[in-house]
Amino acid sequence: MQAIVRSVLLATLVFQASTLSNALAGASDKPVAEQLVDTLTQLSAGPHPGFRANHAKGIVTEGHFTPAPSAAEITKAEIFNHSNPVVVRYSNATGVPNIPDNDGGAFPKGIAIRFQLADDAIADLVCISVNGFPASTPEEFLGLLQAVAASQQSQAQPKPIETFLEQHPAAKRFVTTPKPLPISFATQSFFGVNAFKFTNAKGETHYGRYRIEPVDGAKFLSADAAKAVEPDYLMHELPKRLNQAAYSYRVSVQLAEAGDALDDATVSWPESRRIVELGTLTIDKFRSDSAMFEKTVMFSPLNLVDGIDASNDPILLTRPAAYSVSFSRRIQGH
């Protein structure tokens, strides 16, 4: 309970800072974070009481993290230098609670990992299944969502979203990037699209982005198989898999080099950049109270520990504020 309270307080402070920033700038009556949640809710034909404004459909599992020796080279963070229990939530995109798992709108898939530390402390990783993001600022992301909303009933040619994508190459690249359907959440890779600053015990710092990759390799359905699966196949498959055996991911960090963009989530770094293994994430249990648990928990990429700091990426800094708005509405039943 203390961990939940800390999450809410952190997100509330970020939200208040965002509100003040927008007010000082003479922006809209509502801060961008709240407008993002409003638009996501509109796009999902919501509100859907008790559900997230985005990544509403999900499933919760449990497991543990085992550190790799190489982690200490990059960071002194206790989450990567000690074994810790974890809670992991997988999800589909959009605020539609019953969106089919094989629906194109259900991408990117999401993963949220909560490290459960001593004295009720927590730390979170929040990643998606695409190595990149469609917008470099919250305002640009809001523009994308509003263009989608404006296109739903529009008879204009081209539609607002088509015009937006032509004017925003990063968003067009994200939308057109192939997103094959995974056989399972257990066979899907995930990426941290925002950079963080990592500090080791010697005080040396590196900027990097997370990668979470199945130990047995990413595996996807064929195009024909993807059309034939049931709407809830991912949600049904995972408990069955865990009844048979545990599965694991390799958690790593891709390190930036001089000149790499540290504050632009639309820019993926070259594959030639060094990747350092942080450890192994093993999932061994389906959480039977998954539906109830996920309604009362808010994951945040800024739930950090010593040895990891946020970069100046505006998308990263706005995420907790938007999550806070969504969480507040969720726990109030809105």
Count of domains for the chain: 1
- Which tokens sit at 161? 């979203």
Identify the pLDDT of residue 154.
86
> By mean pLDDT, which of 21-35, 75-89, 239-253 is the weakest?
21-35
Judged against a pLDDT cut of 70, whether residue 63 lies above it is answered with yes
Q: At residue 275, does pLDDT exceed 60?
A: yes
pLDDT of amino acid 28: 61
φ, ψ dihedrals at 79, nearest 5°? -65, -25
pLDDT of residue 227 exceeding 50: yes
State the number of CA atoms in the 13 A half-sphere of 165 facing the CB. Answer: 12
How high is the mean pLDDT of the chain?
Answer: 92
Residue 95 reports pLDDT greater than 50 = yes
The per-residue pLDDT for 155 is 87
Ranges assigned E (strand) in the chain: 58-67, 84-91, 110-116, 122-128, 190-191, 196-199, 205-214, 247-255, 275-286, 308-310
- Say yes or no to pLDDT of 334 above 90: no
Q: What's the token pair of residue 222?
A: 């064929």
pLDDT at 219 exceeding the cut of 90: yes
Whether the predicted pLDDT of 59 surpasses 60:
yes
pLDDT above 90 coverage of the chain, percent: 87
Residue 22 has a pLDDT of: 43
Tens digit of each residue's pLDDT (9 = 90 or more) over 176-190: 999 999 999 999 999
Structure confidence by residue, pLDDT tens digits, 12-30: 333 333 433 444 333 468 9
CA-wise closest residue to 56 among 98, 100, 28, 86: 98
Residue 294 belongs to domain with CATH number: 2.40.180.10
pTM: 0.91
Of 268, 305, 261, 244, residue with least CA distance to 119: 305
Whether residue 3 has pLDDT greater than 90: no
Higher pLDDT, 159 or 26: 159
The boundaries of the domain holding residue 34 are 2-331
